[in-house]
Amino acid sequence: MMDQARRLRELIQQRGATMQEEPQKSEMKARVIAVASGKGGVGKSNFSTNIAIQMSKLGKRVVIIDADFGLSNIEILMGIHPKYNVADVINGAVDMSAALTVGSMGCMLLSGGTGLSALHDITDNQLLRLTDGFLQLDDLADCIIIDTRAGLSNAVINFIKAATDTIVVTTPDPTAIADAYSLIKSIKATIPDAKELKLVVNCVDDETEAMEVYEKLSGVSKRFLQLPISFLGFVPYDTMLVKAVRRQQPVSILHPYADSTARFADICAKILEVQVEKKSSIQNFVLKFIGKFGS
């Protein structure tokens, strides 16, 4: 595994050097966002899906990489059936652009496939194809969202190292908080120069509960790890979101005026540092009221 990791770094450096010889490709244009969680079941993939859709609504070209190879959560949440996945890119069946599937709101998805094992024992040529494929995404996307595997692994750490930003998703559940801190601690241990992580608290009653979770994690991280965490936002428990998941449609599309959709929009605006137009309170109430009858 160490030999493969070294080879991959060397291949990426070689490809990067080639790119720098071309003036128009001297810098990465796409913003890469890794979404991680300490454990499964906290809504990480749902978050990645809806944030991608919100970015697309703002006119961004978005690619989601389902990096939980073998489970394909994103395609299930979008209700789509990709023809190709990451294994097809590695094996040379198709290039990266052909492997992408257009999903909700024009978001493009690289499927992790179903039943795939971890990417062990792949050849140099396969590494080259994968590396070239990721570099191609720079011409295809403004934002690349990497939905990593839940928990901690070498692959998760490598994606976080490569990302522009890292967002940790958790819930108020004590085990989820403990696992989120374990993930944060491992990130600091393996990436000592990590500057800042961002936190989203999912499935909360209100902002007060979300802030309590944030203050716990932020406090221990700052005290024991010297790693600052910024509060990116929260997503409330929302029956409309639950119904959307069951119907395999993102809540941001199925219920555009749901409470959770509004929070996804707020978080997206924070990530992109843009202003989101707010509905007047009575208009927002009426739209959500009508939406409940359509659910």
CB 200 within 8 A of CB 66: no
> Where does residue 254 rank: exposed (0-12), middle (13-18), buried (19+ CB within 10 A)?
buried
Distance CA 265, CA 145 (A): 16
Nearest partner of 65 among 132, 159, 131, judged by Cα: 159
pLDDT at 119: 55
pLDDT of residue 21: 46
The per-residue pLDDT for range 154-184, each reduced to its tens digit, is: 778 888 888 889 999 999 999 999 999 999 9
211: closest CA among 197, 230, 186? 230
Average pLDDT for 199-206: 97
- Give the mean pLDDT of the chain: 84
pTM reported for the whole predicted model: 0.84
Please, what are the domains in the chain?
A: 2-294 (3.40.50.300)
- The per-residue pLDDT for range 269-282, each reduced to its tens digit, is 999 987 555 544 44
